[in-house]
Amino acid sequence: MNELIDLALDAADQAGASYADVRISERETESLTVKNGALQAADSNRSAGFGVRVLVDGAWGFAASSLLEPGEVTRATREALAIARASGLARRDPVALDDTPPVTASYRTPVEEDPFAVSLDEKLAILMDADAAMGAVPGVSVREGTVEAARERKTFASSAGARIEQELTESGAGIEATAVNASEAQVRSYPNSAGGQHVTGGFEAVRAMRLPAHAQRIAEEAVQLLDAEACPSGQMTIVIDSSQLALQVHESCGHPIELDRVLGMEASFAGTSFLTLDKLGRLQYGSPIVGIDADATAPGGLGTFGFDDEGVPAQNVPIVSNGVFVGYLTSRETAPIVGRSSMGSARASGWNVIPLIRMTNVNLRPGEAGTLDDLIADTSDGLFLSTNRSWSIDDRRLNFQFGTQVGWRIRHGRLAEMIRNPTYTGITPEFWGSCDAICGPDEWHLWGIPNCGKGEPMQTHRVGHGAAPARFRNVRVGVGRW
């Protein structure tokens, strides 16, 4: 491997590249899906390759290939150099990188139980037990459960002298029950929608989910939703559970703090950001109790690693403090524009693509509102909303609309009737400004989102968000005439 790295870096240097880096990685995944009592899918995937990134006359070029052979490394490096020269045909200011020092280091995800070493039989038994519990509930039409594992081994080397080895291990699982009638298709998931919960770590995380123990409950709730009350329309107090709030943080904070978006580098695809440079340190993003950090060091987070894909160490940086917007997610190219060094959030989803600014674990700090029960008890009238079902937000990340799988009416400090098809909408700073209570550390969960899309060619990446349930006042719910 060192031979291939040296080959690329030497070729880039000899061709006049002012900077070059090489990433060689292999990612393996394993997935089991049980659907309606049968093993529907069992697969194992491996993808390996390398990517060479070069800076020539201040312009970028990148080429990647799955052929890990000296001749192909030479060819791809030449291609990256040619592409960089073509980039120079439409260049403005030359790209300048920050002063992050090169390091030689290694990192490995702490793993108690290797998810690839757990037998297929054992994984299957967990899913089958959960499936049977869901299947015992009359009225459930579709049951599905998945267990997944992933491991990426990657080497990063740069012309500045960095050499970093990392091994990242991920585990995830989830179950889902669907019930349908003539007009509705209602779904309940555990521990979360969109494939469940995902972490960096071992199979111990899947065991801790206790999927079978929650299967009957979600199946019953899916059936109950068919005849539940429709979501009321109007302005209401809402309490949002931690998993939905994690996605709220993702869409309304995580994306707009990406500095490449702010600088217009994603304008043609994902959009821009309302958190423009003049807002840094000035904008009251939320109420004074709102604090948000980007923490790539959080144990178990899906956005946790040792070093980003530019060789920058993982860090924990404040994003919102006392409600004030104070920080961006940055890369080595963009951080100097705000007078800083990279905080280490340039991540590539694989060997075949360039690192982009991606979320790490963008976490809402826990508050002082106690437990969820305490918060409900403190709420005289409102809605409690749980588990994401749909999401949409505008290109500057201001106007959002979310749907959740289920809601409950809160009356006189207690959960009352179940609510079907709940939706809520708002404008980001107004919404976070209306946050008047956040539950404490005991209710705080770090959720993994394995399907965050960004960039062209689009990269689907894995990020994390910690959140405790929180309360928001005067939010518009029940959107639309349907």
Window 257 to 286, contacts with another protein (CB under 8 A): 263-269, 271, 274-276, 279, 283
DSSP state of 307: B
Shortest approach of another protein to residue 120 CB, angstroms? 5
β-pairing verdict for 59-65 and 185-190: unpaired
Kindly state the smallest distance separating residue 197's Cβ from another protein, in Å. Answer: 18
Q: By CB under 8 A, which span of 6-14, 42-50, 300-308, 314-322 interacts with another protein?
A: 42-50
Q: Torsion angle, CA of 378/383/384/389, rounded to 10 degrees? A: -160
Q: Is 235 in the site for another protein (CB under 8 A)?
A: no
3-class state of residue 188 by DSSP? strand
Three-class SS of 29-57: EEEEEEECCEEEEEEEEEEEEEEEEEEEC
288 contributes a contact to another protein by CB under 8 A: no
What is the smallest separation between the CB atom of 324 and another protein, expressed in angstroms?
14
Binders of another protein: how many residues, by CB under 8 A? Answer: 93
Stretch that binds another protein, among 15-23, 130-138, 346-354, 406-414 (CB under 8 A): 346-354
The answer for 16, left when phi > 0, alpha when psi is -120 to 50, beta otherwise, is left
What element of type H or E holds 170?
A: strand 163-180
Cα separation, 359 vs 327, whole angstroms: 13
Q: Which is nearer to another protein, 92 or 412 (CB)?
A: 92
From CA 17, how far away is CA 78, in angstroms rounded?
11
Among 201, 231, 229, 196, smallest CA distance to 214 is for: 196
Which of 105, 398, 415, 418 touches another protein (CB under 8 A)?
A: 398
Q: Which of residues 95-134 bind another protein (CB under 8 A)?
A: 120-121, 124, 128
Q: Which of 141, 316, 321, 371 binds another protein (CB under 8 A)?
A: 141
Q: Does the footprint of another protein cover residue 184 (CB under 8 A)?
A: yes
14/239 Cα distance (integer angstroms):
60
Q: Taking the CB of residue 267, how many other CB atoms lie within 10 A of it?
A: 13
Under the criterion CB under 8 A, does residue 324 sit at the interface with another protein? no
Instruction: State how far the Cα of 32 lies from the Cα of 37, in Å rounded to an integer.
Output: 13
Is 480 a binding residue for another protein by CB under 8 A? The answer is yes
Mode of pairing for the β-strands spanning 399-411 and 414-420: antiparallel
User: Using CB under 8 A as the criterion, what x/- string covers residues 365-394 for binding another protein?
Assistant: ------------------------xxxxxx
Q: Is residue 339 a contact point for another protein (CB under 8 A)?
A: no
Candidate segments 161-169, 239-247, 312-320, 451-459, binder of another protein by CB under 8 A = 451-459
Q: Is 1 a residue that touches another protein (CB under 8 A)?
A: no
CB of 104: closest distance to another protein in angstroms?
27
